[in-house]
Structure 1
Amino acid sequence: MQAEIGTPEAVGLSSERLERIVPWMRGYVEAGKLPGLSVTVARRGQVVFSRSAGLRDLARGLPMDDDTIVRIYSMTKPLTSVAILMLYEEGRFQLDDPITRFLPEFRNMRVLVGGSRAKPETVPAERDITFRDLLTHTSGLTYGFMDATLVDRMYREEGVDFQTAETSLADVVAKAAGLPLLAQPGAEWNYSIATDVLGHLVAVISGQPFDAFLRERIIRPLGMVDTDFHVPPEKIARFASNYALGEGGRLTLIDDAREGRYAKPRSVPSGGGGLVSTASDYARFCRFMLGGGALDGVRLLGRKTVALMTANHLRGDLADMGQPRFSESSYSGIGFGLGVSVMLDPAKAQILGTPGEVAWGGAASTAFWIDPAEDLFVILLTQLMPSSTWPIRRELRVLTYAALIE
């Protein structure tokens, strides 16, 4: 059962103000800044705005539609977090348990403190990485693409890349375990491969391949019919191509919909960024979260677990947790829960919002946020890398919240 289609005024939103989103969308397309995009707004269980603009495939002239399939990249992370929390609810582990219970390769980790690639200087980790560290990105792991530290460089040189690896999930995790940490576990917030490690932990603890677990225990029960780690032949015509800004600021193809790596099954299912999905599918996930862990009579998590997941687990906001090198959100006024960011202080974040609102985005400029206090969620889908190219997420937040009238 899909969300009901309603009128904005019936759920306390202004039709006139929501319509401001349309010229905003068209403006980005007509200026050649985005290939195409879609926006979905829902409140009190009813979708009241669902519009698309531009093209999903520039070369083929195919329009961006409501059922366009896109790479959601890091919007995969909340689903992986739900998967590991389902196992937590089964009593398989506690959040403060060391992951070495299941992944002994992470024993005796070392932390980089200086030196060079030829002669890195490290000290012993003060404690093991815990499940909570992974869920909150405070594990000391990193991402190679950030290219900001010596550890990032080591990741690239050793092939710690869950997007491009063609071996196995276990193999890439083992490579990461053989490299130094960027910081002591629990000390700093650093966006990282932590959720990919959680995907491997799901496989190890459940005894089931991670991608199979996600499909059978989450994706299918929630009715997310177009969400997977690749796009099958019968759906490939609906898949969007991916772009970046090239020479002269022109949109340049970086991954073709029909010839790219998503057109066939992946060897390494990335829990940190491997899924494709649609607006209607991700709306079902948002409804599940707003429903306290249940959707259409299907319960995957208890409401207290969802409450824990969406609470801030940091000592303050992201800005208080060292010097974050990259995030799909701003730092000030934003905390982090178990797999999602958490709004703490809209004034400090300098953006409209509500304390307790959860969110995240993906590398191709996609985003979602869920506002329990307003019983509202918003989904933004497009395909442009990197996600920091244009301030579309913040602009859409203003346009959406300005439409609230009750």
Structure 2
Amino acid sequence: MSLLNPFERLTKRSLIPSTNFTPFVISNGQIVPKNFVDASTALKNSDIFAVTNLISSDLASATFTGCPFNILNNPSELINSFSFWQSAYLQLLLTGNTYLAIYKDSKGVPNHLEQIPTSQVTVNLADDSSAISYQVNYQDDRDNVQLDADEMIHIRLMPFGENGKQFIGRSPLESLAQMVAIQDQANKLSLSTLQNAINPSTTITVPDAKLSREAKDTIRDDFQALNTGDNVGKAIVLDQSAKLSTQTISADVAKFLATTTFTQTQIAKAFGIPDSYLNGQGDQQSSLEQITTLYANSLNKYILPIQSELQAKLFPTIKLDITQALDFDNSRYVSMIESLATSKVLTAQQAINALADRGLLDANKL
């Protein structure tokens, strides 16, 4: 470091934003990513909420195996395991990155994790690109800290870019900015149309008469008084000077309201899951099985980055088993064992042992 420039190291070091969304714009004195769906805004979209809640819940229900430490099954001292991992996976889905600081006991054994909000993390790339560290700006009484790579679990989705951004993940929300904007405008227009245009109403026509405003108010008020309250459902009686008609929803408006399915499909596509699984379509058992299998396979794009990072930072044999998370009542497992036993692939005893290993039978009582 030159004495003439005491900040030489700081100017050379690469400070990488903890998310990979560009370009950025300045809004109210803050750096805000442009053309990106903000996480808090995204969760107000019912379809994005449904997708992220579904994926994060299923991942949080998965079982960790191959870890000699209890840190994964009991990661936090403040929150239960399911809620901890669901929050971590939601951060991954919404920002493309999850940051989990690793804490160790006096013997150097990892004993708990702490989720760090993306906004509090800056990724530092060494001058010669030989190492990565993490600057954490805690929003509490703790001082800012610098964590080495082995002290931070950094799970990324589809890291891509240059100038250091190849080390930062990208969120599926990045591809949904235009779709969500279209859906928001469609929802606003639909609501406005429902409130102001297609609300079924009654029209009373008085032929060959030019009525004053006061006369129109009188006819309307008298009609409502005679046909509301205790008179609802009773026959309507009009004299020969008036004709009654009702307005209905036009076919064009009904067709417009149906276009929201398009954005639902796009959102499911961006997150890589079958939209039929999200929307509950398909009434044939074979179709449901196929959709569930497709969904299980689609979770691999999230399981593998999680599993790989945990193997690199904690223990090389760690696995994330999603099987039971997708088969809570074990019905699919029982059906598979029954099919294998019927086709003689498994003997009766092997089938019993398989069910007993899953905790569905007590082999000692058979």
> TM-score with structure 2 length normalisation?
0.21
Compare relative contact order (CA 8 Å, sep 6+) and give the higher one, 1 or 2. Answer: 1
Q: Which structure is larger by alpha-carbon Rg, 1 or 2? A: 2
TM-score normalised to structure 1 length: 0.19
Please state which structure has a larger fraction of its residues in helix. 2
